[in-house]
Amino acid sequence: MNKKNRLSPGELFVTPAPHIYHKDSTSKIMWIVFISLLPAGVWSVFLFGIPALNIIITTLVTCLLTEVGFNLIR
């Protein structure tokens, strides 16, 4: 470390996250996750019908409302 970055005793040197870099953006990764989960969602609605669709819709609405709530708090 150079003199500018020298730490006093008892201090920690913390680097910002993420510690692993990948060329894909978070948005792109989330689209990949969404596309990957589509077959499972379609199959669950095919097997279990409307109750499975209700669970999927409830989960989506809850996630979106939680996201909006946390963005309002920030």
- Provide the domain count of the chain: 1
Residue 61 included in any domain: yes
pTM, full prediction: 0.63
In a domain? residue 66: yes
Give domain status of residue 7, yes or no.
Answer: no
pLDDT at 66 over 80: yes
Tokens 């589509």 label which residue?
38
Residue 3: predicted pLDDT: 59
- Note whether residue 14 is domain-resident: no
Residue 17: its pLDDT value, please?
Answer: 72
Expressed as residue numbers, the domain containing 38 is 24-74
Q: Which two tokens stand for residue 47?
A: 């097997």
Quick check: helix, strand or coil at residue 2?
A: coil
Residue 13 lies in a domain: no
Per-residue confidence at 21, pLDDT binned at 50, 70, 90?
A: confident
Q: Which of 69, 73, 71 is nearest to 61 (CA)?
A: 69
Whether residue 6 is contained in a domain is answered as no
